[in-house]
Structure formats: structure tokens, C-alpha cells
Amino acid sequence: MNSDPRESLSRRRFVELASVGSAAAMLKTPSGLAAEAVVPLSEAYPLLTPADEFYDVSRGKPVPHSLTGDALKEAGLTPETWRLDIAADTAVDPPVIQIPAQVEQPLSIDYPTLLEMGKTHGVKYIKAMQCLNISEPLGQGLWEGVLLSDVLRLCGEIEHVRRIYYRGFHNNDPKQIFQSSVSYTQAMETPPGELPVILAYKLNGEPLSLERGGPVRMLVPWAHGFKSIKWLQQIFLTNDYRTNDTYALQNNDPESYLKTAAYIDGGPAQIRAGEAATIRGQVISGISGVARVETLLQQVVGDDADIPDEKGDWKEATIQSPPDWKKSLPKGILSADLLGFDAKTGEPSSWPLRYATAGWGATYPNLARGSYLIFARSVDQNGFAQPEPRAIRKSGKNMLQSHRVEVV
Ligand SMILES: Nc1nc2c(c(=O)[nH]1)N[C@H]1C(S)=C(S)[C@@H](COP(=O)(O)O)O[C@H]1N2
Ligand SMILES: [Mo]
């Protein structure tokens, strides 16, 4: 959210000093210990984040996942009471909308019907959740659901529809509506090798928890979290080609893609001369993919930090190896069953996985006494080093981060 405390980290121009304390707390590890960073990357960064350990970004008063008992049933947020309504938005607004959208068969689908569809049409993929306004990814899951395109096909003939917008439960209070949208094309067509928009009802092999947006949540793989509407209940098909995202009204670029970026999670605050400084973090693969992660060591005086030279002494960091899929996926789920993996070999089409995170680590041995900043950056498949490509800040956070180490 815009008020997230992690947005006000101290900065000097484009340099973002990572707050190791808050990030380490997220990982539930002690901060500032040399030993901490030495934990193997595979242990520090398990493939899947347990559903209740995602960093939660939810609006509404009360937040829908705090409802219980009858209130939860009245909200339509139990598997027995949940329904998804799909209808045309028939508004006209010349010259933008000249002809109203038409939907042959408006629908109201219940949870068992959606699950039944999933038996023949279900898909699974791994994706990290990341907020446009918070640097660190919120968590990573194995999501399962049915394609938005398959659900829309149930509506029969649809005409004059250029955009799909959708909302979740909002306490029956129009002021609390939080909605998002995709274009008709994005909903209906998926480029080969890309991941489709789905209506997700499972996370990590379990029914999607209320906190993560259950019974059913929209999942837009290439986008930041605000497109992945939780507690999904309504879909409108409209001839208004403009984005209808609540996030757009909050000064965010509603059409942004996930950005490739490396983030720093932890490292020692203080070490003794001659000891090694090992830092680590996560890299997220955005629309432009990940080629590598690099780090740069810079000696500093006082509190001043300069932007490191793009062509400076950047060294390639180690990216976590792909995990043992059998051990990392929920029981009974094979990597070959997942989108983004080869159906025969079970190998992923890229590593790090598309729209997912992996851990990275770097070690600087034998540091002499002094103060240092260690910077980290990703380099994408187009050869761009973070923070490039640098669009406006309201299209996702990919500022350069650094970690400070005192060698005493
Ligand atoms: N209904 C609803 N869906 C929502 C939100 C919300 O406030 N209400 N927040 C969005 C934002 S901005 C983000 S970043 C993600 C966060 O997902 P998470 O809480 O599962 O980590 O949910 C998105 N979906
Ligand atoms: Mo967000």
C-alpha cells in the first residue's frame, strides 16, 4: 500500500539503502549476524512460501479475511456461499464507448462448478506475488485454477467487449471497491510459453486460504499484485477500453509489467578485519527475464553513498540452483504438470522461473578495516542492468539496493 513503511527508506538520489532489519524480520532470521548469511541459499529461499507467510496487502474495513461465521457466509466467502457473477457493463459514453457491450449468457458460477471445470481444464504454475509499491516480493506460490478465457467462453457470444474488469468482496461499501482489469486480448490469448490469467482456487496444493483471497482469486502472472484481485466475485465485460483499475487512481501505472530486479535481504552489519562478508537476497524475473545478478563493493566515508558506476567492478553473484522439484512441490504434483515446464523432462523453460524469484548470494573475503556498501543488481535477458529499464517509479520498484558493512 502507499502507506507502507518500507516505502520511506532513506535514499540519496537513486540509491536505496536496504533496510536489513525489516527484510530479515520477514525471513524470520536474526539480523546482523555473520553466520546468518552463510545459510545455504536453498534453505534461505525455499521454492514455495507457506500461504500464511506471504506479506499481506489487503484493503477494506474490516479486511475480508477477518470475517467469521455468519458474516463470512453473508459475504459469500465460504466455498458453499461463493459465487462469481459475470455480466456486461452496458454503459455508453461517446465518443469513448459508442456501442454497449453485449453478453449472450450472463453467468453466476458457484464454487463446485469452477472446481469441476478444473478437473478437465485446470492449470498450475509457480508465480511470485509482488506489490508495485514494495520492493521485496511478498511470497511465492504454486497456484492452480482455470483460465479466465475458458470461463469467459461459457458466456456464449460476446460483442463489443474490449476490456474485462473485476472486483472482490468490498463489505458492500462502494468506497471500498478495489478492482482491476485486463484487455480482452490479454484475457483470451496467451503467447506461446507465456502464462495465462487464471481464476485460482488452490495455493501450494491446498484450497486457497481466505487470507490469500480464497475461495477464488484472480491471478495475472505478468503483473504486480494489484491485478490479482482477492475474494473475486464479479467480472464485467465492457466496451470501455480504458483501464478501470483502482490502482490507476492512486498514481500507479496500471499497465506495468513485473520488473526484473535483485533485492538484498541480509548480510552482516559488522565483521572483523580479514573476515568475509557474505550477503544474499532474491532476484525476481520480470517481463525481461534474468541473465545474472551482480554485486559491487564500494568503500564509503560517513553516511554518503554514491551511485556506483554502471561499468564499475561488478562481479557475478551465485544464483541458487534449481531445487529438487520432487521435494519442493506438494505431494503428488510433478514439475512436468506445471506450465512453464517441459511436459516430458519436467525441466523449467527458464531459471530463475518466469515471474518467480530465486535466491542469490555473494561473498567478499578478506576485507580490510573500513565501511563498505555492497550494491546488487540484476541484468536482464536484454542485457539491461538494473535500474534500467527505468520507467517511472510508479511502475514497480527496481531501485538499486545496497547493504552496509563495517569492518572493525
Ligand atoms: N480484493 C482485494 N484484492 C487485492 C488487494 C486488496 O486490497 N483487495 N490488494 C492487491 C495488492 S495491491 C497486492 S500487492 C496483492 C497482495 O497479495 P497478498 O496479500 O496475497 O500477498 O493483492 C492484491 N489483491
Ligand atoms: Mo500492491
Average pLDDT over residues 209-230: 98
pLDDT digits (tens, 9 = 90+) for 376-405: 999 999 999 999 988 888 999 999 999 999
pLDDT for the residue 25: 31
Q: Whose CA is nearest to atom 15 of ligand 1?
A: 225
Q: Which residue has the cell 496467451?
A: 190
Q: What is the Cα–Cα distance from 316 to 301, expressed in whole angstroms? A: 25
pLDDT digits (tens, 9 = 90+) for 296-349: 999 998 777 778 899 999 999 999 999 999 999 999 999 999 999 999 999 999
pLDDT digits (tens, 9 = 90+) for 80-101: 999 999 999 999 999 999 999 9
Produce one character per residue of 251-271: b if its CB has 16 or more CB atoms within 10 Å, e if not. ebbbebbbbbbbbbbbbbbeb
Which region among 24-33, 165-174, 217-226, 328-337 has the lowest average model confidence (pLDDT)? 24-33
Which ligand is closest in space to the CA of residue 200?
A: 1
Distance from Cα 398 to the centre of ligand 1, integer Å: 20
Q: Which CATH architecture has domain 63-250?
A: Alpha-Beta Complex (3.90)
7-49+259-407 under CATH 2.60.40.650, yes or no = yes
Distance from Cα 5 to the centre of ligand 2, integer Å: 13
In this model, does residue 31 exceed pLDDT 80?
Answer: no
18 burial level (CB within 10 Å; 0-12, 13-18, 19+): buried
**All 3 cell numbers of residue 16?**
536505496
Distance from Cα 203 to the centre of ligand 1, integer Å: 15
**What is the H or E stretch that residue 109 is in?**
strand 107-110
pLDDT for the residue 38: 63
Average pLDDT over residues 10-17: 29
pLDDT digits (tens, 9 = 90+) for 96-120: 999 999 999 999 999 999 999 999 9
Q: Whose CA is nearest to atom 23 of ligand 1?
A: 226
For the chain, the structural domain boundaries read 7-49+259-407, 63-250
Q: What is the Cα–Cα distance from 170 to 357, expressed in whole angstroms? A: 31
**All 3 cell numbers of residue 353?**
522461473
Contact 266/357 with Cβ under 8 angstroms?
Answer: no
Q: Residue 278: beta bridge partners?
A: 363
Average pLDDT over residues 255-277: 94
Contact 399/388 with Cβ under 8 angstroms?
Answer: no
pLDDT digits (tens, 9 = 90+) for 123-136: 999 999 999 999 99
- Residue 70 has phi, psi (to 5 degrees) of -65, -35
Which atom in ligand 1 lies closest to the alpha carbon of residue 232? Answer: 1
Average pLDDT over residues 191-215: 97
